[in-house]
Amino acid sequence: MKTLYYKFMAFVVTWLLRLLPRNAPMVYKGAGSSLVLAEQVSLLGFTKVLIVTDEFLGGSGILDGVKAKLTETGVEFAIFDGVLPDPAFDQVQNGEAVLRTEKCEAVIAVGGGSVLDAAKMIAMLHQNPGTLDDFDGIQKAKRPGLPLFAIPTTAGTGSEITLAAIITDPVAHRKVPVVDSKMIPGYVALDPEIMKGMPPGITAATGMDALTHAVESYLSRASTESTEVQARAAIRLIFKYLVRAFKDGNDMEARDGMAMASFYAGAAFGRTSVGYVHGIAHQLGRVCGTPHGNANAMVLPEVLAAYGDCVHVRLADLARLVGLGKAGDSASELSRLFIQAITDMRLDMELPLKPKDLKAQDIPDIIDEAITEAGGLYPVPRYMTEDEIRRIVYGLLPA
Ligand SMILES: [Fe+2]
Kindly give, in sequence order, each residue whose CB lies less than 8 Å from that of residue 265, ignoring residues fewer than 6 positions away: 158, 210, 211, 213, 214, 217, 230, 231, 234, 238
Over the stretch 334-391, which tens digit does the pLDDT of each residue have? 999 999 999 999 999 999 999 998 999 999 999 999 998 898 889 999 999 999 999 9
Query: How far, in Å, from the CA of 293 to the mean position of ligand 1?
Result: 7
Of 296, 327, 326, 328, whose CA–CA distance to 392 is shortest?
A: 296
Task: For the chain, give every domain's residue range.
Answer: 21-195, 200-394
Query: How far, in Å, from the CA of 206 to the mean position of ligand 1?
Result: 8
Over the stretch 377-394, which tens digit does the pLDDT of each residue have? 899 999 999 999 999 999
Percentage of the chain lying above the pLDDT 70 cut: 99
Query: How far, in Å, from the CA of 8 to the mean position of ligand 1?
Result: 24
Residue 1 has pLDDT above 70, yes or no: no
- Tell me which CATH homologous superfamily contains domain 200-394: Dehydroquinate synthase-like - alpha domain (1.20.1090.10)
> What is the reported pLDDT for 13?
75
> What is the reported pLDDT for 234?
98
Handedness of CA 246, 249, 252, 257 (dihedral sign): positive
Q: What is the average pLDDT value for the chain, to the nearest integer? A: 94
Query: How far, in Å, from the CA of 113 to the mean position of ligand 1?
Result: 9
Query: How far, in Å, from the CA of 131 to the mean position of ligand 1?
Result: 25
Contact 243, 196 (CB under 8 A): no
Query: How far, in Å, from the CA of 103 to the mean position of ligand 1?
Result: 34
CATH class given for the domain over 21-195:
alpha beta
Over the stretch 97-144, which tens digit does the pLDDT of each residue have? 999 999 999 999 999 999 999 999 999 999 999 999 999 988 999 999
Q: Helices (DSSP H) in the chain: which residue ranges? A: 2-19, 33-43, 55-58, 64-72, 89-101, 113-127, 192-195, 200-219, 225-247, 252-272, 276-288, 292-307, 312-321, 331-348, 363-377, 386-394
Query: How far, in Å, from the CA of 73 to the mean position of ligand 1?
Result: 36
Over the stretch 166-207, which tens digit does the pLDDT of each residue have? 998 888 878 888 999 999 999 999 999 999 989 999 999 999
DSSP string covering 261-272: HHHHHHHHHHHH
Query: How far, in Å, from the CA of 170 to the mean position of ligand 1?
Result: 21
Query: How far, in Å, from the CA of 71 to the mean position of ligand 1?
Result: 35
